[in-house]
Amino acid sequence: MALARPCDACGVMLEFHVGPNGKTLPLQRVRSVYVCNPDGTVKKAEVVGDAIFVSHFETCFKASSFSKPKTEERA
């Protein structure tokens, strides 16, 4: 089991897993997944087996508060 704790900013329960690049990712478990087809129809996708997660940086309304400030490039 991965480390689980609430987000410091919004309180949503997160699980922390090591990603493919070796860095720890804050992930939020997703219960339902919907696929939007090019014709505009929407279909609920079946989740079989493994749980599905989304990066919490995609859903947290305060995600920008965790980002490092970008430095300006000098010519």
> How far is the C-alpha of 16 from the C-alpha of 27, rounded, in Å?
6
Encoding tokens for residue 15?
A: 């699980």
Which strands form 52-55's sheet, in the order they lie side by side? 3-6, 13-18, 24-30, 52-55
List b or e across 33-43, with b for residues whose CB sees 16 or more CB atoms inside 10 angstroms.
eeeeeeeeeee
Residue pLDDT, tens place only, 23-68? 999 999 888 889 999 999 999 987 777 788 888 888 888 777 766 6
Using a cut of 0.75, tell me whether the model's pTM lies above it: no
CB 9 within 8 A of CB 34: no
Q: Where are the domains of the chain?
A: 3-64
